Structure formats: C-alpha cells, structure tokens
Homo-oligomer: A and B are copies of this chain.
Amino acid sequence: MRKFVESIRRLWAIPEAGILAPLVVCAVVFQSINPTFLGESSVSAILRAMAFVGMIAVGQTWLMISGGIDLSVGSVAGLCAITASWLMKAQGWPVPAGIAAGLAVGAAAGLINGVLSVRIGIPAFIATLGMLYVARGLNYLLCKGYPIYPIPDALKEFGRAEPLGLSWAFLLFAALVVLADLCLRRTVYGRMVYATGGNVEVAAIAGIPTTRVRIACYVFTGALAAAAGILLMCQLNVGQPEIGTGWELDVIASVVIGGVSLFGGVGTVVGTFLGLLLMQVVRSGLVVAGVNTHWQTVAVGVIMVVAVGVDLLRRRTKIS
C-alpha cells in the first residue's frame, strides 16, 4: 500500500501528470458507463480523428514555445488542400508535384507570417489573423467554393489505406510526435527554441540566431498545416474548401491544455499529444456515454477548464 502511494506520488511528479490524470479519469469513467468505449474501432476512430489537428498542434507547440502563435493554421490547411487538388485536377499536375506545391504554399504562408511578425514586428496575433483571411480568400478564389473532385486515385487509395488498422495520417502524426519531441528535448535546435521563447534578448546575446529560429518555427507550422490539409483531403477523397475551418482554436486549446505557455519558453510535444488525446477522448466519450448533444458542448468546456486546473494543482503541490 505504501509502495503504491509512493509510486502514485512519483508519477504525480512527472510534468505531464497534470494532464495525464484527467485523461485517465475520463477514460475510466466513459469505459465504465459504456464498456464498448475502449473497443478497437472506437480507439482507432479517436486516434484517426486526432491526426489532422494533431499534426498542426505539433508545429504550434514548437512555435508557441519559441514565443510565436499562428491563428492561420486552419485556413492555410484548407488553402493547401485546395491548391494541391486544384493543381492536380484542373492543371493536370502529377501527384508528387501537386503535393509538393501544396506543402510549399503552406511553408510560404508560414514564412510570410514569420517575416511579418518577427522581422517587421506586427503582433503575431494580427499578422496570422490577416493570413487567416488571405488564405481563406485565396482558397475560395481558386475553387470558387466548389469542392474539387475527383482527386487522383492514388491519393484516394492512400487516404483509405488502413495500415495497422489505423491510417497513414495517424502514423505520420505519431512519427512526427516522437521526432518533434526528441528534437525539442535533445537537440541544440530544440534548446534554441526554448531559449528564444524564454527570453529573446537573452537568447540573442547568447549568439542564437533568434530571428531565424522564430521564423523557422512559423515555416514549420505552415508546412505541417499544409500536410494536415492534404492528408485530410486524401481521406475525404475530395478537395473541400471548408477543410480546416475553425481548427485554430482547437489547435491552440490542445497545445495549452498540454502545458505550453502562451508566453513562450515552456512546454513539450508529449504534453500536447496528451492534450489532443484528452480533447478527443472527451468528445468521443460523451457521445458513447449517450450524453445529449448540447450537454456535450457544455461538458467539453468544463472538462477543458478542469484539466488545466488539475495541472495547476500538480504544479502547486510540487512546490510545497
């Protein structure tokens, strides 16, 4: 018994425990209400649904740790999906070229965001909100609001494939999480990102090319938004102009729930992953538990706040 208490206490000391605890509690509660909750197809649906917003959240994690923020991610994801599918369908580009172009558009949007906010000094909130509008406008200019359909068969196959019972999008996302987490924790580059977000002046004095680091995070986020948009397009089998609408708040919410500070310098990719998982578990769990659809909306809000509250509690108990 004492050993158990001790191991609980030790778990509680892990930085990500604050978010893990509500996650486990939610999963257990939903499972006991409806034992099919942790069934295979349900779990795989949860994981698959995370992939798209999740990829962007990884980029946003880096970006927010470096001190930036990007509200245009959803809009850019939509633009890139449409650009890629439009090039392939209307312009007859081959698949790899179309995808590369889509990713390039995402990276370019990130670059513009970065230059505007870091070099020119326009608050990131406004620079990227501007980009949100610009990307959405361009998206609809390209496709006139009409879904681009059909997309090449190869992509359709790719989007429908179920490797390991999951999806390519999820596997790519999972690989990204591992890689991005390692990079952030272990590499010089990751350290530069933390330092830059912690205090730009201090980082600059240390000879860290802060401008480049910060802009790179924007580019990285833009490219990941593009990837998410294109992967969703493959899965839906159609270039939907609505792809990405409203993702910005979802992304930021997951990242913040996962422990990233809005002021930069703090957070981990694993935390973000847990934040994403929590949000998705809650969303699916409430349906499985048979909660009324409007109460679900209420519950999502409440659980979000409670989860962050638990994390706060953990950080406070550690100090005393």
Contacts and interface: CB of A to CB of B under 8 A. Distances in A.
Interface of A: 71, 116, 120-123, 125-127, 129-138, 140-141, 144, 249, 252-253, 256-257, 261-262, 292-302, 304-305, 308-309, 312
B126 A253 contact: yes
Given A256-B125, A262-B123, A140 B294 contact: yes
A249 B121 contact: no
A305 B252 contact: no
Contacts of A134: 297-298, 301-302
A116 B302 CA distance: 11
Contacts of A133: 297-298, 300-301, 304
A255 to B, nearest CB: 10
Contacts of A293: 140
A295 B130 contact: no
Given A249-B71, A304-B126, A137 B294 contact: yes
B301 A122 contact: no
A305 to B, nearest CB: 4
A312 B121 contact: yes
A305 B295 CA distance: 38
A121 B305 CA distance: 11
A305 B253 contact: no
Nearest to A304: B130
A141 B308 contact: no
A40 B270 CA distance: 57
Nearest to A140: B294
A56 B6 CA distance: 50
28 contacts: A71-B249, A116-B309, A120-B312, A121-B312, A122-B305, A122-B309, A122-B312, A123-B262, A123-B308, A125-B262, A126-B253, A126-B257, A126-B308, A129-B304, A132-B301, A133-B298, A133-B301, A133-B304, A134-B298, A136-B297, A137-B294, A137-B297, A137-B300, A140-B293, A140-B294, A141-B294, A141-B295, A144-B294
